[in-house]
Amino acid sequence: MRITNSTLTTNYLRNLNKNLASMQKLQNQLSSSKVVTRPSEDPLLVSKIMDLRNTISTNEQYNSTITDTIGWVDTQDGALQGANSTVQRIRELIIYGANGTLSEDDRNAITEEVKIKVGELADVLNTNFDGRYIFSGTKTTDKPFNAALEYQGNDKNIKREISTGVEVELAVDGEEFTTLNKGQPDEQKLSDLLKNIITALQDGDSDALSGKLLGDLDKHIDNILSFRSKIGAISNRLEAAKERNEAENLNLKNLLSQREDIDLAQKYTEANTLNSVYLASLSIGAKILQPSLLDYLR
């Protein structure tokens, strides 16, 4: 096959353009720090990168939900701690009030403090988190308890999705821990018990105060503590879910970086190599393109 000057020139220019295209691609990668800058460069890789980004975005949304839910549950625990302290104080007042030697003024003072504590208990159980009441069931915009500690919410719990196909059920039914034997014939509401305690204090009924009323209040205290333990178990589950979510997101971001980000040291080496090749090509090209018509006539 005859190699003409035109053939040499055409091949040279084609290869030179390839070198220039490779250099431009490297320059784009170095300036953007990304392996691909356009989907057309590697459609399959771009598709994988987009899938990873979507997964990371979804995980971050789950993380936000978990963080918000942990705040909700921590608020519940704080409210229950306050409720327990208040009920414990009422218990102390019952014991004081059961003393048959109290004067009427002392008994009235104890009665008034119990009434105040009932109001305080209602206030603490009406705690809200970010504008949503934490013990109203799904009626989160309505106060769960009135001043007499009568429940006004519903018995439906709230569910939160914390991972794909994974939900956690929040215990938000305020009646669950303010009612003994709920739904049974011997059901007893804390609000009714407190009314009976106030009546017994006013009447000076020491036997009722030191007997059944005190015993029933102890059962309610145990019920509150049991519900608080339930809240604690939910909190532990959420903390574990948050740790898994963050670990998974870190792994996904590392994988995304491996697929998306360039190795700067490697790319700089490739750029220097291509630049040397390009300069050598120019040098050779100068010799290929140098001959003119006068050179052929000599």
Query: If you ran DSSP here, which 8-state letter would residue 298 be given?
Result: -
| Domains of the chain by residue range | 54-256
Would the pTM count as exceeding 0.85? no
Q: What is the mean pLDDT of residues 225-236?
A: 96
Backbone phi and psi for residue 291, each to the nearest 5 degrees, phi listed first: -60, 140
What distance in Å separates the CA atoms of residue 22 and residue 29, rounded to the nearest whole number?
11
153: confidence class by pLDDT, cuts 50, 70, 90: very high
What pLDDT, on a 0 to 100 scale, did the predictor assign at position 6?
63
Q: What is the mean pLDDT of residues 185-199?
A: 94
CA trace torsion 43, 46, 48, 53 (10° rounding): -160
Please tell me whether residue 185 adopts helix, strand or coil conformation.
coil
Residue 173: C-alpha distances to residues 12, 137, 179 (Å): 81, 5, 11
Kindly report the CA angle at 161 between 156 and 164, in degrees rounded to 5? 145
What pLDDT, on a 0 to 100 scale, did the predictor assign at position 174?
95
pLDDT, tens only, 264-294: 556 556 656 666 666 666 666 666 565 554 5
What pLDDT, on a 0 to 100 scale, did the predictor assign at position 1?
46
pLDDT, tens only, 110-150: 999 999 999 999 999 999 999 999 999 999 999 999 999 99
Half-sphere exposure of 283 (CA within 13 A, CB side): 6
Placement of tokens 């040499």 in the chain: 8
pLDDT, tens only, 173-183: 999 999 999 88
pLDDT, tens only, 5-21: 566 566 666 666 666 56
Top-level class of domain 54-256: mainly alpha
Q: Where are the alpha helices (DSSP H) in the chain?
A: 5-32, 43-97, 104-125, 190-203, 206-208, 214-260, 264-288, 293-297
211: confidence class by pLDDT, cuts 50, 70, 90: very high
Kindly report the CA angle at 87 between 115 and 213, in degrees rounded to 5? 80
Burial 17-45 (b: 16+ CB within 10 A, else e): eebeebbeebeebeeeeebbeeeeeeeee
CA 247 to chain centre: 13
pLDDT at residue 58 is higher than 80: yes
- The per-residue DSSP string of 107-164 comes to HHHHHHHHHHHHHHHHHHHT-EETTEETTBTT-TTS-SB-TT--B-S-SPPEEEEEET
